[in-house]
Amino acid sequence: MENLNFINPLLHGIIPEELEQKALNFSTKQLVCAGVGTLIAGAVLKKAGHQKTGALIAGLALPILATAVYKKIQKKSEEKANSANSGQSDVDTVNEHA
């Protein structure tokens, strides 16, 4: 009962910032391709007669595509925040939406 270091990863020196840097960073384009590929693979499996497997594989497409949309929105909001901080005029942002 003395050696419980395996329970808490922080005791081993693993900090959350290191985990974020080590995480896989897929681009939006890669995520969209993976989502569409998952949909196609699910459709092919369903046509081949593997209904449950095809449904499972095709069901993974929505979270993958949602992640791609989230990353794209996040990137646009970061760009907009950076451009607002750099001192661009409000006229540029108005024309951007029109």
CA pair distance 40, 18, nearest whole angstrom: 36
* First vs last C-alpha separation in the chain: 66
pTM above 0.75, yes or no: no
pLDDT recorded at residue 78 = 86
**Which among 59, 8, 12, 68 has a CA at the least distance from the CA of 38?**
59
pLDDT recorded at residue 85 = 80
Alpha-carbon distance values, 39 to 16, 25, 58 (Å):
33, 22, 5
CA pair distance 59, 64, nearest whole angstrom: 10
Tokens 């449904």 sit on residue: 55
Enumerate residue ranges in the chain where pLDDT < 70: 1-23, 87-98
